[in-house]
Amino acid sequence: MTERCIARLPELIAALPPHIRACCDRALFVERSTGYANPPPSMYAWLEQQFHTVDAVRTQTIVRVTNRLTLDTAMYNPLRALRPLEADASTGIDPDAALEQVIASYAGSSDMFRDPLRSTPADKFGRIRGRHCVTASNVAKYDGWHGLVIFDEFHPLCFNRDQLHDYFANALRWIAHAHRADPTSRYPLITWNCLWKAGASIIHGHLQMILSKHMAVGQIERWRQAGIAYRQQYDSNLLTDLGAIHTTLDLGIPVADGVTGYATLTPIKDREVVILQSSRLEPDMWNDPEVQDIRLALQPLWDSVYAILRALIDGQRMHSFNLAVYLPPCASTDEDWSDMPVCVRIVDRGKPMSRAVNFGAMEMFAGSIISIDPFSVAADIRDYLA
């Protein structure tokens, strides 16, 4: 075992400075167990080929980490990364080349977003044109206000820093315009489903935004309420303490000033990175339809998101992903949002050309099964950014 890996998490926590260890003990539940298997000799040759040694299967180390407040749970066994996937029939074609062929086949006349002014509806307030994108109203909505930012660039993995800034700036403008058109809608969320494994129905790159009326969506509200409970019990900020725990454990990622980034110990799936912006967004900032103050405040966050995305895409070959931006309400509310920073979550959704899915019954109904060590995720991103 390497010095820093998920299998040694209990020892790593025990070696933390006392004040950080206390934060860890009150925020996280960590349990390490051993699984045993007794394979017949007839399996030995196959096990050695698949898992390198028979002993690796005979005795397995499993680590479970649960956030005591949000109840996010992840179960780790690196051996699962080596298990056979019968749904992946080898074609002899390089998977990256095969992916590019599929993406290219949807370009041109097959691209539904090729001419968004003709192929997508506008919102009640019209469209917002950015330097590299344009907004549209979603044709099949999952909230009353549900819009798109459609990239001028067709390929969803081809973007530079300036383009990414513009995509998020236009998403923020859409939120401000939707709120101005309907002041009762005040809870924003920005998401990005990249390629079909992440749930994208259209390959052409695009963000989605919703603005809800009376309550934030469930995951954001769960995090907000967890922060309130943690504050009441420990007089401290939950997400700040989690950032300190992960950074001290060497799971942190170098990002811009005022921003915290880390590979989380409780990912929803492999390679989840959490990025937190410490500066607050006040409700009156949304009164400006160009959201100049918000765009300026969030510039370090978008710089950090860009750097980490490129490290994951180019360095770790993450080609299909989900991204979410948790934002505070764009108007005053009765509930307390003081402990909830702007947050970005990025999650790898697996190899696009694989027929296997990375969500099963455990993810749907229990907790996440993780095969990629977050310590290696953080280290690989840091190496790429160095």
State the greatest distance between any 2 C-alpha atoms of the chain, in Å, as a whole number: 71
pTM reported for the whole predicted model: 0.95
Say how many Å lie between the first and final Cα of the chain, rounded: 25
Chain CA centroid to CA 74, Å: 15
Q: What is the pLDDT of residue 279?
A: 83
Return the half-sphere exposure (C-beta side, CA atoms, 13 A cut-off) of residue 223: 21
Contact between 327 and 303 under an 8 Å Cβ cutoff? The reply is: no
Of 358, 163, 154, 365, the residue nearest 269 (C-alpha): 358
Residue ranges of the chain with pLDDT lower than 70?
1-2, 85-92
Mean pLDDT of the chain: 95
Q: What is the 3-state secondary structure (H, E, C) of 223-249?
A: HHHHHHHHHHHHCCCHHHHHHHHHHHC
Helix (H) or strand (E) holding 119: helix 116-119
Q: What is the pLDDT of residue 95?
A: 86
Of 113, 29, 132, the residue nearest 74 (C-alpha): 29
Give me the sign of the Cα torsion angle 307, 308, 309, 311. positive
Domain ranges in the chain are 6-82, 95-385
In sequence order, which residues have a C-beta less than 8 Å from that of residue 304 and are 6 or more positions away?
255, 256, 259, 261, 275
Whole-angstrom distance, CA of residue 270 vs CA of residue 264: 10
pLDDT, tens digit (0-9, with 9 covering 90-100), for 190-216: 999 999 999 999 999 999 999 999 999
CATH topology for the 95-385 domain: HIT family, subunit A (3.30.428)
pLDDT, tens digit (0-9, with 9 covering 90-100), for 100-113: 999 999 999 999 99
Question: Which pairing describes strands 59-67 and 73-76: parallel, antiparallel, or unpaired?
Answer: antiparallel
